[in-house]
Amino acid sequence: MALLHMVDGVVLEMSPEEEADFTARQAASAADAAKALVPATVSRFQFRKQLRVMGIFSDVDAAIAASNDVDLQEAWADATEFDRTSPNVAKMAATFKLTDEQVDAAFIAAAQIRA
């Protein structure tokens, strides 16, 4: 059965072309929908606590200390909040082979931690 849409108050069946457009939009928007609830930033406390919850805090700490990346080390030592789109977050995600979806989930979980 064809999908229905309402056009200027009249309910009609979508044509095959209209249905194809609609289905394509649905697929294209799925990734954006998943990202909708990812916080842009979390606090230092939330970020570090979430790493402990994930069981990788010590490993992350050690990996950063062993790196020669001064920018990364200073961010880890001094940042008061962590940005989801930060290149340093991306570097550590790559080091620990975390997918975008896993990092998004970690930020969502971190945002719910209260100090």
Residues found near other proteins in the complex (CB under 8 A)? 3-9, 11, 14, 18, 21-22, 24-26, 28-29, 32-33, 35-40, 42, 108, 111-112
Nearest to other proteins of 23, 58 (CB atom): 23
Nearest to other proteins of 64, 106 (CB atom): 106
DSSP category for residue 15: P
Nearest to other proteins of 93, 109 (CB atom): 109
Is the Cβ–Cβ distance between 79 and 44 less than 8 Å? Answer: yes
> Using CB atoms within 10 A of its CB, is residue 67 exposed (0-12), middle (13-18) or buried (19+)?
middle
